[in-house]
């Protein structure tokens, strides 16, 4: 007699119906609903909790699949080891725990042991040495020794973020798990978990460092811990996060009624109603706006992210906000940048700090790039795809896939009627 298959359990998560495989369940922890992964490890039941969200479900499924693979790979072998092997394992665990402190993980210990045995007769430089060699001999060579904006970014990531994490570890002892732990621990600008894009950038940088080290003969390819790591894929069909007309009104009302924030009105207006990128807004000067009295903003090749010059044609409400700011003491000399600061880095920091303060004061969540995404969505309804793509500096395909969200004609009309007199 065949056993009937267990019924699949479905759950409503963020408005979507999802199923959970065996080993993944939904439980209450401290009065909060959590997605839970349960597995057996060394005779003990282990659990890990994730947020009750679509991202949490995906992370739980990934961990569950990993644990099943580990069981298939190691379960039978570990269940039948001899007493001598068990004693050796206990001694090894005690040794690694003492060497690594309280952060003992069996998976990490396994990698340390494997690499330690493989590298008994191996002498390799520490990671910092590899990083310095890559930066000086490879990256700076490509720029003829000039410290460009790109190379400065790489320098900061290498020596301010990556090197302090790995310290002076011999490169042959750095495992794939070490790299994954590093990527998982990266923080974003808001203090939360770094975005997928940021983690991918760091992974690609590590790949470049280790690839160069192998090519130079500093390490052999079997000691490249990132050789088999691939960037995580972005979830499909995720709509861009944009603000509502009411939320944008509240933002402009707040800055209008708080004189200390008047200096940010121009950069907000050009961001929300023209869709300029963060870095472009940080580079633009007032001399780039309304050139010769014409209703246009010139984004030069030096300002544009893609290096292609373009014009943006601001709507009437942009001019109204610019006039308001000027009438309330905001300096608009042709050489003045829209954001105060001597360097691009300083201006981007000022901009980021302002957005954090804005979110705190208004209670409005401001996801990354939501200003540009909001502008793109409303602009597409008002001006059409072709014109919007031209002004954003993208092709239509990119606009439709990543930037636009459906907006009604009425919403677009209300959006572009946000003026100093209307809030």
Q: What is the H or E stretch that residue 71 is in?
A: helix 54-79
Beta-bridged to residue 27, according to DSSP, are 34
Share of the chain above pLDDT 90, in %: 22
pLDDT tens profile 301-350: 888 877 788 888 888 899 999 999 999 999 888 889 999 888 989 999 99
Q: Is the pLDDT of residue 111 over 80?
A: no
Q: Measured in Å, how far apart are the chain's first and last C-alpha atoms?
A: 72
- Mean pLDDT of the 206-213 span: 92
- Mean pLDDT of the 369-390 span: 81
Assign 405 a pLDDT band (cuts: 50, 70, 90).
low
Q: Which of 70-84, 363-377, 383-397 has the highest mean pLDDT?
A: 363-377
Angle at 317 between CA 311 and CA 322, to 5 degrees: 80
CATH of domain 245-415: 1.10.443.10
What's residue 171's pLDDT?
Answer: 83
DSSP one-letter code for 165: H
Cα–Cα distance, 113 to 109 (Å, whole number): 6
Q: Which fold has domain 10-80?
A: Double Stranded RNA Binding Domain (3.30.160)
Only one residue has tokens 């893609």, namely 306
Q: Which of 34-38, 63-67, 231-235 has the highest mean pLDDT?
A: 34-38
Q: Is 213 or 192 the better-scoring residue by pLDDT?
A: 213
Distances, alpha carbon 247 to alpha carbons 103, 229, 250, 379, in Å? 45, 41, 5, 17
What's residue 3's pLDDT?
Answer: 46
Q: What is the H or E stretch that residue 272 is in?
A: helix 265-274
Assign 160 a pLDDT band (cuts: 50, 70, 90).
very high
What's residue 253's pLDDT?
Answer: 93
Q: Is the pLDDT of residue 237 over 70?
A: no
Which residues neighbour 361 within 8 Å (Cβ) at sequence distance 6 or greater? Answer: 254, 258
Burial of 152 (0-12, 13-18, 19+ CB in 10 A): exposed
**Residue in 9, 21, 31, 12 with CA at minimum distance from that of residue 60:** 21
What's residue 398's pLDDT?
Answer: 59
Q: Is 47 or 87 the better-scoring residue by pLDDT?
A: 47
Only one residue has tokens 């490879």, namely 138
- How does DSSP assign 185-211, residue by residue? T-B-TTSSBPPHHHHHHHHHHHHHHHH
Residue 395 CB neighbour total at 10 angstroms: 13
Burial of 312 (0-12, 13-18, 19+ CB in 10 A): buried
What's residue 277's pLDDT?
Answer: 86
Assign 210 a pLDDT band (cuts: 50, 70, 90).
very high
Q: Is 44 or 312 the better-scoring residue by pLDDT?
A: 312
Assign 13 a pLDDT band (cuts: 50, 70, 90).
confident
Q: Is the pLDDT of residue 162 over 50?
A: yes
Assign 73 a pLDDT band (cuts: 50, 70, 90).
low
Only one residue has tokens 């302002």, namely 354
pLDDT tens profile 249-289: 999 999 999 999 999 999 999 999 988 888 888 899 888 88
Only one residue has tokens 């088999």, namely 228
Cα–Cα distance, 111 to 108 (Å, whole number): 5
Q: What is the H or E stretch that residue 281 is in?
A: helix 278-283
Only one residue has tokens 């590590």, namely 206
Range with lowest mean pLDDT among 8-12, 128-132, 154-158: 8-12
Assign 82 a pLDDT band (cuts: 50, 70, 90).
low
What's residue 120's pLDDT?
Answer: 46
Q: Is the pLDDT of residue 28 over 60?
A: yes
What's residue 256's pLDDT?
Answer: 94
Q: Is 81 or 266 the better-scoring residue by pLDDT?
A: 266
What the block records as the tokens of 319 is: 């001019």
Cα–Cα distance, 219 to 129 (Å, whole number): 12
Mean pLDDT of the chain: 81
What's residue 2's pLDDT?
Answer: 47
What's residue 350's pLDDT?
Answer: 92
Q: Is 116 or 155 the better-scoring residue by pLDDT?
A: 155
Q: Is the pLDDT of residue 4 over 50?
A: no
Cα–Cα distance, 82 to 294 (Å, whole number): 84
Distances, alpha carbon 373 to alpha carbons 160, 370, 381, in Å? 31, 5, 13
- Mean pLDDT of the 77-91 span: 61
Distance of CA 65 to the CA centre of its chain: 24
Structural contact between residues 148 and 194, judged by C-beta atoms closer than 8 angstroms: no
Structural contact between residues 165 and 206, judged by C-beta atoms closer than 8 angstroms: no
């Amino acid at each position: 007699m065949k056993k009937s298959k267990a019924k699949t359990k479905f759950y409503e998560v963020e408005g979507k119906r999802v199923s959970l495989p065996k080993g993944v369940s939904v439980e209450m922890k401290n009065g909060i609903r959590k997605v839970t992964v349960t597995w057996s490890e060394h005779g003990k039941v282990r659990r890990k909790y994730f947020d009750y969200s679509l991202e949490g479900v995906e992370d739980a499924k990934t961990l569950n699949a990993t644990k099943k693979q580990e069981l298939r790979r190691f379960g039978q072998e570990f269940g039948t080891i001899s007493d001598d092997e068990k004693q050796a394992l206990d001694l090894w665990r005690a040794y690694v725990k003492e060497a690594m402190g309280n952060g003992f993980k069996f998976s990490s210990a396994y990698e340390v042991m494997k690499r330690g045995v493989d590298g008994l007769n191996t002498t390799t430089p520490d990671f910092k040495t590899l990083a310095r060699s890559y930066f000086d001999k490879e990256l700076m060579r490509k720029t003829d020794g000039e410290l460009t904006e790109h190379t400065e970014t790489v320098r900061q990531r290498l020596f301010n973020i990556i090197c302090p994490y790995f310290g002076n570890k011999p490169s042959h002892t750095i495992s794939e798990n070490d790299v994954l732990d590093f990527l998982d621990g990266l923080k974003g600008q808001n203090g939360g978990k770094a975005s997928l894009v940021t983690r991918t950038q760091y992974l690609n940088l590590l790949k470049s460092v280790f690839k160069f080290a192998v090519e130079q003969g500093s390490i052999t390819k079997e000691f490249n811990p990132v050789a088999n790591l691939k960037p995580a894929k972005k979830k499909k069909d995720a709509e861009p996060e944009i603000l509502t007309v009411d939320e944008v009104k509240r933002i402009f009302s707040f800055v209008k009624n708080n004189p200390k924030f008047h200096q940010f009105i121009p950069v907000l207006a050009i961001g929300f109603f023209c869709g300029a990128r963060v870095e472009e807004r940080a580079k633009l000067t007032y001399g780039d706006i309304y050139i010769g009295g014409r209703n246009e903003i010139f984004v030069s090749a030096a300002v544009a992210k893609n290096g292609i010059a373009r014009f943006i044609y601001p709507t009437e409400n942009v001019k109204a906000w610019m006039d308001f700011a000027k009438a309330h003491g905001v300096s608009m000399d042709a050489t003045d940048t829209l954001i105060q600061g001597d360097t691009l880095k300083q201006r981007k920091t000022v901009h980021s700090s302002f957005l954090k303060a804005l979110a705190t004061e208004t209670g409005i969540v401001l996801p990354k790039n939501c200003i540009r995404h909001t502008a793109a969505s409303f602009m597409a309804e008002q001006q059409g795809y072709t014109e919007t793509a031209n002004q954003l500096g993208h092709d239509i395909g990119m606009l439709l896939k990543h930037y636009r969200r459906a907006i009604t004609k009425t919403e677009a009309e209300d959006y572009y009627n946000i003026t100093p007199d209307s809030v």
